[in-house]
Every structure is written in structure tokens, then in C-alpha cells.
Structure 1
Amino acid sequence: MGTARAARAHIIWTSIALVLISIASCLAYVFMSKVSGCQRISIVNVSEIESMFRHQVSREKWLLKAYNHTDNRLVWDDEWEDHRIRGESILDHNKTWIVIQEKGVYLVYIQVNFILQNNDSTVELKLLVDLSYDGKPELFSAAHDTQVVNVKTSPDAKLNTFLLMYMQSTSQLSVRVFPSDLVNYESQPFSTFITIIKWADDW
């Protein structure tokens, strides 16, 4: 009896799914045929698809790892430097400012790891993002946290921020951290890093 019920239920649900798929297909066909500019897509080979995406994807994709600091500003190293055209760099000569090459909307994620010292104290952690237009740096974003440090707490702490930013060509980005002497640079694969990906040409 139970097997028969299960079989009937399976047939009913399969029928409902097929009906919904048929309705969705019909609606999509009607919609596509009425919208101006919509055309049927012919089958293309894989090489043509790869070529199409190769021309559309921006070269603005960066993964930078912090390896030091100077005046509380993180000093960066380009993790993908070996895969870039020779001489192409997003970093200034001090490696503290990230220089944007293309105008557009960018997704930016920053993570900073700290090593806390167990000394029964309160530590205020800060992450400040500065954006510079025409050599005039301004505070763009900030993240902060207060950690009470003792023998029972974890020796590690983390601050991160996710930003959606519109930047001009030659805009510059820099990250300040406090206290900078507690920043962890050694963890694998990445302890303190920033990723920058161009999302669109405009809002």
C-alpha cells in the first residue's frame, strides 16, 4: 500500500514539474519573440565563446598580500605579478598606494589579521581605507573592533571590510591599520590581503 502511494506521489510531482517547465518555456518563447532586438542564438563553437569573453573581461583583477607596514600603512606584494605583462604594476614605488588603471566600479575586499598578546588588556583594532584623487587623500571607509585580551581569549583577531567603489583612472587606494605592530603577515595562504576586481564601467 505504501509503495503504491509513493509511486502515485512521484508521478504527480513529476507531472507538475513537467507542466511548470512547459509553461516557463512557452512564456520565454513568447517574451523573446516580442521584445525588439532579441534574436535566436545560433550554436557557436567553444573557441568563439572564449574569444568573446577574453575581449570583455577587464584586466583589473588584483590580489595583494601585505608583508610589512610603514607609518601604519600596509606595504603590499602582488601575488599574481609573475602572470602579468612585464612592467605592469598597480603599486606605487613605496608599495603602500594602489594605483587604479581603469575608470569603473570596483569590488574591494580587505582582511587584516592581528596577533594579540595575552596581557590582560583591552586592544582597539582599526582598519582605515584612504582614497586619493589628484594627490588629496581622504578617509573613505573604516572598520574597528575592541578586543579584551586575556589567557582565555584567542590569540588571533580579524578585521575585514567589503567595499563597492567608483574610482577614476589614477585614483589611489591605501590601507592604514592600528596597532600596526600586531598585524600578522605570516599565516598561510593569506593572512592580511586585499582583492580588487573591476565590476562595471559605470554605476
Structure 2
Amino acid sequence: MGTARAARAHILWTSIALVLIIIASCLTYVFMSKVSGFQRISTVNASSIESMLRQVSREKWLLKARNHTDNRLVWDDEWEYLWNQSGSILDPNKTWMVIQEKGVYLVYIQVNFVLKPQKNSDSTVELKLLVDLNYGGNSDIFSAAHATQVVNVNTSPDAKLNTFLLMYMEVTNQFSVRVFPSDLVNYDPLPFSTFITIIKWGDDW
């Protein structure tokens, strides 16, 4: 029973990951560093989709946020039980993703927030999603997504930030995700409220 459920979950999330790649090809919300030799900006055009789908490797992960420390999200690897020969992508603290295989990676991050409306008053909250990158002794911080949300009894108690990243990374490069305000991050809804998917689709551009 557990094996069948795991197999179904594997198929479902692999399909979702592939759909995310296709969606990414239509979006202009792709950013990354201009640092030479590390991150390079690229769009995913229609002519590359077929090739991209053919070369999706075993280097793919689905991580679910379960907590935070110092505004940095702490993750659980939802696919770790399916393939663990090369070890987890997560560091021992489960806050940094450490790249084990050089290549181009498509990353999708979604963070859900639970807002707290006050009766008979309006307030605003600044929502931010930052990506910290460590590479070759250097580090950078990028504002991946942000929004200003008006909070009152007439607005939805939920808000969402998401972003697609297309990154070229070397072995041992690492990145983490910080969110503000971290105390409003939602971890509860099923299947996942706050998560990240990471898929390697090629060895180079």
C-alpha cells in the first residue's frame, strides 16, 4: 500500500515538475546573476522544450518548507526516499541546497503567507522572497519576488509569492531562501503550501 502510494506521488510530482518547465517557457519572470561563469540569464523558448524534456535527469527535487530559522526556510526533501544514492541536496541544517552536479537548473519557488486582518482598520504588509547564493568563495543576495499587501477584514487572509529561476551552477554552489515576514509563512495545506522544485535539464546552455 505504501509503495503504491509512493509510486503515485512520484508520478504526480514528476508530471507537475514537467508542467512547470513548460509554463516557465512562457514567462518573462526569469532572473539571475550576471556574474560570469556562475549564473547567466536565459529564456526557455518553444524550440528547446522538446530537448529539455528529453534530458531531464535524475537530478530533480521537491522540497517542502516546514519551518524557518533567522528568516531562512527549513526544508524537507519529499523525494529523498525515491533516490538517495548521491545523497540529499540539503545541507545538515536543511536550509541550503548544495549542488552536486554541474549544469543548468530550473528552480520554482512558491511561498504562501497567512495574513492577519485587524477589525475596523487597514494595514499593509511587505512580503519579500530573497535568494542567497554562495559560489566559489563569493556570495550574492537577490530579491526574487516582493509585494505590498493591504490587509483588512475584506481581503483574503492568504497571499502568495512565487518565482522561476534558470541558473547555471557548478558543483558545491549553494543557495537558500529567505522570506519576510517569516512568522506569516504558511506550512500546513496539502499537498504543499510553501515549496521549491529543482530540476536539472542540461549540462550547459
How far does residue 121 in structure 1 lie from its aligned partner after superposition?
A: 1.1
- In our comparison, the structure showing a higher alpha carbon Rg is 1
Equivalent pair of 2:103/2:200 in contact (CA under 8 Å): yes
Q: Does 1:191 align with 2:193?
A: yes
Query: Partner of 1:65 in structure 2?
Result: 64
Q: Whose helix fraction is larger, Structure 1's or Structure 2's?
A: 1
Give CA-to-partner distance per residue, 1:132-176, whole Å, 9 cap, x none: 113533114421000000000000000000011111111101000
Q: Does 1:108 align with 2:107?
A: yes
- Give the total of aligned pairs: 149
How far does residue 199 in structure 1 lie from its aligned partner after superposition?
A: 1.3
* Structure with the larger RCO, 1 or 2 (CA within 8 Å, 6+ apart): 2
Match of 2:155 among 144, 150, 153: 153
Q: Residue 81 of structure 2 aligns to a residue in which SS?
A: helix
The worse-fitting range, judged by mean Cα deviation, of 136-145 and 169-178 is 136-145
Matched residues in 2 for 1:127 and 1:188: separation?
21
Equivalent pair of 2:56/2:202 in contact (CA under 8 Å): no
How far does residue 100 in structure 1 lie from its aligned partner after superposition?
A: 0.7
Matched residues in 2 for 1:190 and 1:106: separation?
21
Return the letter of the residue paired with 1:159: L
Query: Partner of 1:82 in structure 2?
Result: 81
How far does residue 71 in structure 1 lie from its aligned partner after superposition?
A: 0.5
Matched residues in 1 for 2:92 and 2:182: separation?
21
Change (3 A) 1:159 1:71: same
How far does residue 87 in structure 1 lie from its aligned partner after superposition?
A: 6.9
Matched residues in 1 for 2:129 and 2:146: separation?
6
Matched residues in 2 for 1:140 and 1:166: separation?
15
How far does residue 85 in structure 1 lie from its aligned partner after superposition?
A: 2.6
The worse-fitting range, judged by mean Cα deviation, of 188-197 and 86-95 is 86-95
Q: Residue 104 of structure 2 aligns to a residue in which SS?
A: strand
Matched residues in 2 for 1:171 and 1:123: separation?
33
Query: Partner of 2:98 in structure 1?
Result: 99
Equivalent pair of 2:56/2:201 in contact (CA under 8 Å): no
Matched residues in 2 for 1:141 and 1:133: separation?
17
What is the RMSD of the two structures over their aligned residues, measured on CA atoms?
Answer: 1.6
Matched residues in 2 for 1:160 and 1:97: separation?
18
* TM-score w.r.t. length of structure 2: 0.69
Which stretches in structure 1 are left out of the alignment for 5+ residues? 1-55
Query: Partner of 1:4 in structure 2?
Result: none
Q: Does 1:133 align with 2:141?
A: no
Equivalent pair of 1:130/1:141 in contact (CA under 8 Å): no
Which stretches in structure 2 are left out of the alignment for 5+ residues? 1-54
Equivalent pair of 1:122/1:147 in contact (CA under 8 Å): yes
Matched residues in 1 for 2:201 and 2:144: separation?
22
The worse-fitting range, judged by mean Cα deviation, of 56-65 and 166-175 is 56-65
Give CA-to-partner distance per residue, 1:35-82, whole Å, 9 cap, x none: xxxxxxxxxxxxxxxxxxxxx652210000000000100000000111
Could you tell me the percent identity over the aligned residues? 80
Equivalent pair of 2:128/2:143 in contact (CA under 8 Å): no
Matched residues in 2 for 1:129 and 1:77: separation?
18
